[in-house]
Structure 1
């Protein structure tokens, strides 16, 4: 008999996003005048997203063993939703309009997050 207690696991992984230790990836999101830095973990990014697996394979480490990825084409708010999904499998759509969710669906496809993209597509059709 398997017991699945995934809520605590998801919360623990989400807390990693706020942990300023042991990260090895910096993701710069947004335009140069409005950029946010996300500190992430290559193992999680690689296993949850084929996009990041491919991207991180081509990025060199700096002198501190940190890889930096720049994403100028996605808004900070959209990436926050994506990264929380990658880390915790959690997505809250109540506060977003259809246009935001539609764009988010395209980013989910870009990052090869098929489960999320399919969910967003179904959500848009139903709502």
Structure 2
């Protein structure tokens, strides 16, 4: 019975968020950086109860005595990703099949930043179960993203397992040459890397001769010229 009633609650809360004439919203949130900035209207009581990160921000932005709306800025978050997260905050629903894989990765990073810990294992599980091929093709992004946050342990394990069992997929992935020097060093020093030294150095040379914009500036022999 409880589960049958929850969708109605979710629908009602979303209707409050979507109501352009809602007189009860008490906060505006400026998201993004120029020229991609969007302002969202919301309700502090909901944000406080759902996001530890927003709760901390709001605790230092008390409502003014003149009843002016509270206004906060989130410049490091993309507006289109925050919109998805905000609808989740109100509804408790997130239909991942509707989004591109790259957007799901961005949602994961944003969820972590906003302290939505319940989403982190769910998003990682979805990526690993449904987007393995995409992550192999975009290993550089996944590897660097996973090890920038201690909460992304499932993605870290995915990367470590791929390095150990199928390293050729990493080195032959389309984005291999975009991997950072630090990440490349970590990869080739991995104890379980099942590749010969000759193969490793061939890929290192491939990485080293990639067209680096800063290095190729003014170089007429650059293959990309």
TM-score of the alignment, normalized to the shorter chain, above 0.5: yes
Alignment of 1:33 with 2:61, yes or no, is no
Correspondent of 2:104 among 101, 105, 110: 101
Alignment of 1:16 with 2:19, yes or no, is no
User: 1:98 and 1:34 mapped to 2: Cα distance?
Assistant: 21
Cα displacement (A) at 1:27: 0.6
TM-score normalized with structure 2 length = 0.53
Higher strand content, 1 or 2? 1
Query: Alignment length, in residue pairs?
Result: 126
When structure 1 is superposed on structure 2, of 22-31 and 93-102 the one drifting more is: 93-102
Cα displacement (A) at 1:31: 1.7
How large is the RMSD of aligned CA atoms in angstroms? 1.5
What is the CA deviation profile of residues 93-114 of structure 1, one whole-angstrom value per residue up to 9, with x for unaligned ones?
Answer: 2232222211211111111111
Unmatched segments (≥5 aa) in structure 1: none
Structure 1 residue aligned with 2:159: none
Alignment of 1:126 with 2:129, yes or no, is yes
3-state SS, counterpart of residue 18 of structure 2 = coil
Q: Which has the higher contact order (CA 8 A, sep 6+)?
A: 1
User: 1:60 and 1:45 mapped to 2: Cα distance?
Assistant: 14
TM-score normalized with structure 1 length = 0.90
Task: Pick the structure with greater CA Rg.
Answer: 2
Structure 2 residue aligned with 1:3: 2
What is the CA deviation profile of residues 5-56 of structure 1, one whole-angstrom value per residue up to 9, with x for unaligned ones?
Answer: 1001001001111233111110111223222111101100000110111010
- Within-5 A mapping of 1:72-111: 72-111=75-114
Structure 1 residue aligned with 2:47: 45
